[in-house]
Chains A and B, each alone.
Chain A
């Protein structure tokens, strides 16, 4: 029954779902922080200063990876559903993973 688990397509599904959940939990907090600007620049600046802690930066890095992984995984799904069928499940999953890692590295280097 669970023979499909462990297949790259199953991992791609799991990463897509978990990254989606993580982003859905993160978004209200992200919107709240940006709304601090309504109460003055200094409120936003205080939060940005607080966010320079290593743990917060690590959390940001995880969210950027989730965002890139969800984007690439979504593009993979759209390709599977809307382009002519080819035996490219593993290739698309590998490309999606590669894109997420590249985005994470770019963020880590910039931060």
Chain B
């Protein structure tokens, strides 16, 4: 049962990694374009406000990163912070919820017209 769960979490970690590989490439290109053309609220919001495409892209990005980062922190909590089973699980779940909530709020802030 535990082995099956660990395998499932490993698969989710890898699946989110594949989604994130695409998202991070787009994000890196966007960062370089954005800083090159000048960072300002109007420049950022001009690109994103009212855009369904950016909203969907960053929504998927946030959910994938919340799951991926939390699974990574779960391993680090157990290996480096010596957290025992349920403590590491609760820490990771809390971190996933925090990232998802803050991330989706940020997406709403830049996309909502």
Contacts and interface: CB of A to CB of B under 8 A. Distances in A.
Contacts of B44: 37, 44
Given A24-B95, A44-B44, A81-B14, A31 B103 contact: yes
A36 B108 CA distance: 11
Contact of B32 (A78, A81, A110): A110
Interface residues of A, number: 37
Given A20-B72, A28-B99, A64 B106 contact: no
Contacts of B28: 64, 67-68, 71, 103
Contact of B17 (A31, A34, A51, A78): A78
A32 B40 contact: no
Interface of B: 14, 17-18, 20-21, 24-25, 27-28, 31-33, 35-36, 39-42, 44-45, 65, 69, 72-73, 76, 95, 98-99, 102-103, 105-110
B45 A37 contact: yes
A23 B69 contact: yes
B45 A31 contact: no
Nearest to B70: A24
15 contacts: A21-B76, A27-B65, A31-B102, A31-B106, A34-B109, A35-B106, A38-B105, A38-B108, A38-B109, A42-B41, A48-B41, A51-B39, A68-B28, A78-B21, A111-B35
